[in-house]
Amino acid sequence: MTTVEGRAISPPRRLGPWPAFGLQASVVVFFLAGASAPTPLYATYQQEWHFSPITTTVIFGVYAVAILLALLVVGSLSDHVGRRPVIFGSIVVQTAAVVVFAAADGVPALLCARILQGLATGTVVGAVGAGMIDIRRSAGTLANAVTPAAGTAVGALGSGLLVTYAPQPTHLVYHILFGIYVLQAVGVVLMAETAARTPGALRSLRVTWSVPAQARGPLLRVAPVVLAVWAPAGFYGSLGPALVRGVVSGEGALLGGLALFTLTASGASTVLVLRSATPRTTMRIGTVALIAGVALTLLAVAAGSAGLFFTGTAVAGVGFGAGFQGGVRTVVPLAEPHQRSGLLSVMYLISYLGFGLPTVVAGVIVVYGGGVERAAYIYGIAVMLLALLALISTFGSSRARTPAALEAVSGRAPGTGSAAVDVCADACHAGPSGQGPSPKANTLAHKGDEHR
């Protein structure tokens, strides 16, 4: 309680831990929903403004490039200035992006909006992800794995429905997102800060890889998996609607959104179903499912089978969710509080390399290599090969690491360890020198599921 001119002034009310957790989770969901919302509209934009599939993939690709730049430059900023100012600033930029989308009258406006979206998303994901882990480590780690897929699913299906059945198809979805972002900004103002300010904010803006020493080995092992599982999401997000129109008859906008929804909703559901499995097992399930799902999808394209297409997409979605969840749960719990935002940003950096850059190559193949179906075959085969290499990488460090041994490292009786503790036990068995457990890694292993 403070006083101003003799009057008692009550401190402002702050959101409790769990409302703040839910708010931050919703930020990721609706930022990713905003990113996938244009997918069902690309055919409409292309018809109105007469641009090629390469332009579609460039519009999609600049978003990924902007995310990469933001992750590299400001990915660890919230570790120094706090979570709230970074999240609030990102919401302001994201709100500006949907305003530009709603007023767009050509390709330059779409490019501008996508760049703003990418900068905002790349800035916020590390801060929000770290903020959720600040509140509760195990729940935050799970939320970091499920919210991107859930948000992409919500945006793809919601936009498809609005474009197909609601008035003002190129405006209404952005008006709705605008209102949501304004409400979220108000919520962030009422949210308590969870990270202490530390020196070095300006120094953190240099382009660096902020990876703690204890997480470098595990990150290298999971990187191929993360790259592989995000690549199909990029293809579905950019060229998916064009591919669906060649396989399925019906409302193009809705079916294009439904394809991306099927992939990402299946992924989000998989994260929840496999939340108690060990990270290595989860990644192996993910890579196998990705290979099988992409193979089924390519068979469906050849056969013109709508049922097989969506079945393959759902199986590939299992791979997307399981692979990314396993990667996040392997690496993120190894970071200390002041390292979380930077490490999460590197995880998303790897994700969006697989998500965005190959889609531009796919657009070139569409125009100069024989159309969208041929691009799908080439892209799908490349993804399956990458997934196979990723699957092999998950066996690289598993010698002599039985489930009982992992439980012993975690300091718990077999079968009783939490998922987060299992993550640390699995990933921390070798210190930076490779000669045995590091003291910091052991500490994190024993504290993996503590309530923060």
For residue 7, pLDDT beyond 70: no
Q: Does residue 402 register a pLDDT over 50?
A: no
Place of tokens 């949907």: 98
For tokens 């080995």, what's the residue?
217
Q: Which residues, other chains included, contact 19 with Cβ-Cβ below 8 Å and sequence gap of 6+? A: none
Give me the percent of the chain exceeding a pLDDT of 70.
82
Given a cut of 90, is residue 23 above it in pLDDT?
yes
As to burial, measured by CB atoms within 10 angstroms (0-12 exposed, 13-18 middle, 19+ buried), residue 355 is buried
User: For the purposes of burial, counting CB atoms within 10 Å of the CB of 170, is it exposed (0-12), middle (13-18) or buried (19 or more)?
Assistant: middle
pLDDT attached to residue 166: 87
Least confident of 91-95, 120-124, 175-179: 120-124
The neighbour count for residue 288, using CB atoms within 10 Å, is 18
CATH 3.40.30.10 at 17-194+209-393, yes or no: no
Residues 218-245 pLDDT 10s: 888 888 888 888 888 888 877 777 788 7
What is the per-residue pLDDT across 158-178, written as a single tens digit (0 to 9) for each?
A: 998 998 888 888 899 999 999
Q: For residue 432, is pLDDT > 80?
A: no
Number of Cβ atoms within 10 Å of the Cβ of 88: 18
- Picking from 6-20, 33-47, 52-66, 162-176, which range would have the lowest pLDDT averaged per residue? 6-20
Cα separation, 338 vs 395, whole angstroms: 31
The pLDDT score that the predictor gives to residue 222 is 87
pLDDT-derived band at 441 (thresholds 50, 70, 90) equals: very low
Q: Please enumerate in sequence order all residues whose Cβ is within 8 A of that of 303, keeping only pairs 6 or more positions apart, or say none.
A: none
Question: What's the whole-model pTM score?
Answer: 0.72
* Separation CA 152–CA 237 (nearest Å): 9
Question: How far apart are the C-alpha atoms of 283 and 281, rounded to whole Å?
Answer: 5
| Distance (Å, whole) CA 351 – CA 147 | 14
Residue 193: DSSP 8-state:
P
Average pLDDT over residues 400-408: 36
- 9 by DSSP, 3-state: which? strand
Asked whether 191 and 13 are in contact (CB, 8 A), the reply is no
- Give 452's pLDDT tier (boundaries 50, 70, 90): very low
Return the structure tokens found at 45: 């934009």
Token output for 130: 């770290």
For the ranges 5-14, 29-38, 306-315, 322-331, which has the lowest average pLDDT? 5-14
Q: What is the DSSP string of 253-273?
A: HHHHHHHHHHHHHHHHHHHHH
The CA distance from 439 to 428, in Å, is 10
Least confident of 98-102, 224-228, 292-296: 224-228
The residues spanned by each domain of the chain are 17-194+209-393, 403-446
pLDDT of amino acid 250:
59
3-state secondary structure of 4: strand
Q: For 95, how many CA atoms within 13 A lie in the half-sphere containing its CB?
A: 15
How many percent of the chain have pLDDT more than 90?
Answer: 30
Greater confidence (341 vs 438) lies with: 341
